[in-house]
């Protein structure tokens, strides 16, 4: 299969459907099908892969991704061990990498992420990068809340975010008490 091809499959979660995609043996997408930012994700894939061909199917990485997601939703997995390929700017990649360090069952804020990546005044830019995270659930942007512990935007919608946080034992508005600091 050529480098420009993206193999895709859908995965049904208890809170919505994800579109999973791989390229060159790595996961490049796990995004909500009904998400408001599908055009952003497609534009990024086109920019970094040069208008790839999208092929509906499966491969070993997609199968492993589905298996690990099954385990997560069954309460048997707290972290993901998948080959990820971040397609983004250096700043976005730094933000997405920081998201991977937020432990299961904990939350953090945009300000904390900005501090962690050495850009303490870049909270809004961090918020944009979090919103463009192409790996919903796997790179846990659902663990980012407002400074006051409030539920903030999420590509899968507020109900999905609330479901995922509840699955991890986080009950809002007490999230501030469970805040993770880098």
Q: Please tell me the distance from the alpha carbon of residue 123 to that of residue 110, in angstroms, as a whole number.
A: 6
- Measured from the Cβ of residue 38, the count of other Cβ atoms closer than 10 Å reads 14
15 is catalytic: no
Residue whose entry in the numeric block shows the structure tokens 């998948």: 82
47 Cβ contact list (under 8 Å, min separation 6): 87
Residue whose entry in the numeric block shows the structure tokens 């998400």: 35
Q: Tell me the CB-side half-sphere exposure of residue 51, using CA atoms within 13 A.
A: 0
Q: Which of 41, 87, 117, 141 is catalytic?
A: 141
List, by residue number, the catalytic residues. Answer: 141
């Amino acid at each position: 299969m050529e480098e420009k091809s993206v193999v895709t499959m859908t995965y049904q979660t208890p809170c919505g459907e994800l579109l999973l995609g791989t390229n060159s043996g790595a996961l490049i997408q796990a995004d909500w099908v009904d998400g408001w930012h599908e055009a952003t994700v497609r534009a990024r894939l086109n920019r970094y892969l040069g208008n790839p061909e999208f092929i509906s199917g499966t491969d070993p990485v997609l199968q492993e991704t589905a298996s690990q997601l099954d385990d997560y939703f069954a309460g048997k997995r707290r972290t993901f061990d998948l080959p990820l390929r971040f397609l983004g700017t250096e700043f976005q990649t730094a933000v997405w990498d920081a998201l991977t360090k937020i432990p299961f069952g904990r939350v953090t804020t945009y300000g904390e992420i900005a501090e962690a990546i050495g850009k303490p005044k870049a909270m809004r830019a961090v918020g944009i990068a979090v919103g463009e995270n192409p790996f919903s659930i796997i790179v846990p942007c659902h663990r980012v809340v407002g400074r006051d512990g409030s539920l903030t935007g999420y590509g899968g919608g507020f109900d999905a975010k609330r479901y995922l946080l509840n699955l991890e034992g986080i009950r809002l508005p007490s999230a501030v008490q469970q805040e993770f600091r880098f």
